[in-house]
């Protein structure tokens, strides 16, 4: 163990140091409370053997300071006192000491304290390791609970959480954000023809294409089955339509063969809606995007439609692809 001895009496210091070193422990000495406290802050010690009365920070105060940081690694504290007053000894133990040694110090007494110290510090280290492992596992579980296994995108649970946070923020800051809802075209036919495993792979690649066309601040989620949703913070409906068009085009460029699709490759249809005065809730915003998506489907698929209510400038709509 790494042992710190704090005692203003040079003879005691030397005696303690000799005993501790003979027992095979690393040993550092300090002649007053202030320097002991400095050392304790800059380095971890498994054991502190400290005099009760010293110049500077005295023993009881050292205990209190060490114990005021419960997150730190554990230091086993033994107070050395000439006092036979039980009340005083109890007060020091109350301040955080684990044990005490009465002066004059005997080697055997030091040895028994260090045996107990080794056991207790080992237990504390174990608890600390278990806690760290648990915290890590917990973080992994949280991440997993928010991730869609197939595509690696955020799942619907995360989407709903993020959207309600974004909504509250944008209401406060009078900002804006848009959502794009994508649905893979003729995907049932894809599965029927190529099989479910190939369908999964096509969904993965479609998700990657959409994610790859996102700006850093846009977030793609798997909304459900073969539907994806992207949130786009800032910008108006027109900007969101352009972004959606870029994503739609990226999926088409992925060129996943689809013999029964309208374009012989896998395509997506999209509906875009921007958060604004038009919608009273998140549900209304998503419904608007869904209706716009439905319009894209009805108009022939593989296209982007903006929700009615706040139409973007017409050139943007005119630029979207058509598919009779």
Q: Which residues are known to be catalytic? A: 226
| Residue 215 contact among Mg ion, ligand GH3, none, beta carbon within 5 to 8 Å by kind | none
Does position 223 interact with ligand GH3 (CB under 6 A)? The reply is no
Interface map 25-44 toward Mg ion (x if CB under 5 A):
--------------------
Q: Which does 196 bind (CB under 5 to 8 A by kind): Mg ion, ligand GH3, none?
A: ligand GH3
Q: Which stretch binds Mg ion (CB under 5 A): 14-22, 73-81, 175-183, 277-285?
A: 175-183
The side-by-side arrangement of strands in the sheet containing 99-102 is: 26-30, 2-6, 47-51, 76-81, 99-102
37 binds ligand GH3 (CB under 6 A): no
Task: State how far the Cα of 316 lies from the Cα of 103, in Å rounded to an integer.
Answer: 89
Quick note: the x/- pattern for ligand GH3 over 297-316, rule CB under 6 A, is: x---x---------------
Which residues partner with 227 through β-bridges?
183, 224
Structure tokens at 301: 């698929």
How far, in Å, CA of 17 to CA of 62, rounded? Answer: 20
Q: What character string, x for contact with Mg ion (CB under 5 A) and - otherwise, covers 213-252?
A: -------------x--------------------------
Near ligand GH3 in 108-147, by CB under 6 A: none
**CA distances to 14, 205, 206, 291 from 211, in Å:** 68, 10, 9, 23
Q: Which of 56, 95, 80 is nearest to 3 (CA)?
A: 80
Q: How many CB atoms lie within 10 A of CB 186?
A: 19
Closer by beta carbon to ligand GH3, 37 or else 187 = 187
Least CB distance to Mg ion at residue 271 (A): 12
Q: Which of 191, 208, 291, 321 binds ligand GH3 (CB under 6 A)?
A: 191
Q: Which of 45, 121, 159, 186 binds ligand GH3 (CB under 6 A)?
A: 186
The answer, yes or no, to whether the previous bond of 176 is cis (omega within 30 of 0) is: no
From the list 324, 190, 310, the residue with the least C-alpha distance to 257 is: 190
The minimum distance between CB 261 and ligand GH3, in angstroms, equals 9
Pairing of strands 99-102, 227-233: unpaired
Alpha-helical regions (H) of the chain: 10-22, 33-42, 59-67, 86-94, 107-145, 156-173, 187-194, 196-212, 237-254, 282-298, 314-319
Candidates 76-84, 153-161, 170-178, 192-200; binding stretch for ligand GH3 (CB under 6 A): 192-200
> Would you count residue 187 as binding Mg ion (CB under 5 A)?
yes
Binding stretches for Mg ion (CB under 5 A): 183-184, 187, 226
């Amino acid at each position: 163990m790494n042992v710190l001895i704090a005692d203003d009496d040079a003879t005691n210091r030397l005696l303690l140091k000799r005993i501790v070193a003979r027992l095979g422990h690393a040993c550092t000495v300090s002649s007053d409370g202030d320097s002991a406290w400095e050392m304790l802050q800059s380095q971890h010690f498994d054991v502190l053997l400290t005099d009760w009365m010293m110049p500077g920070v005295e023993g009881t105060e050292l205990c209190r300071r060490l114990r005021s940081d419960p997150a730190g690694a554990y230091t086993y504290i033994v107070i050395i006192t000439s006092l036979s007053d039980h009340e005083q000894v109890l007060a020091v133990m109350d301040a955080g000491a684990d044990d005490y040694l009465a002066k004059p110090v005997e080697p055997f007494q030091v040895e028994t304290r260090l045996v107990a110290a080794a056991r207790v510090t080992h237990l504390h280290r174990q608890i600390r390791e278990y806690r760290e492992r648990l915290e890590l596992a917990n973080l992994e579980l949280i991440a997993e609970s928010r991730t869609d296994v197939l595509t690696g995108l955020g799942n619907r649970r995360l989407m709903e959480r993020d959207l309600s946070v974004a909504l509250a923020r944008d209401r406060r800051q009078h900002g804006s954000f848009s959502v794009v809802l994508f649905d893979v075209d003729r995907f049932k036919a894809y599965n029927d023809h190529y099989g479910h495993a190939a369908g999964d792979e096509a969904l993965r690649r479609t998700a990657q294409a959409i994610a790859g066309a996102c700006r850093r601040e846009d977030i793609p989620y798997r909304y459900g089955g073969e539907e994806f949703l992207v949130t786009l913070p800032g910008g108006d409906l027109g900007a969101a339509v352009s972004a959606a068009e870029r994503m739609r085009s990226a999926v088409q460029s992925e060129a996943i063969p689809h013999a029964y699709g309208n374009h012989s490759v896998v395509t997506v249809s999209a509906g875009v809606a921007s958060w604004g005065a038009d919608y009273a809730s998140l549900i209304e915003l998503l419904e608007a995007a869904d209706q716009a998506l439905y319009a894209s489907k009805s108009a022939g698929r593989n296209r982007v439609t903006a929700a009615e209510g706040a139409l973007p400038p017409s050139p943007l709509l005119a630029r979207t692809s058509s598919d009779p």
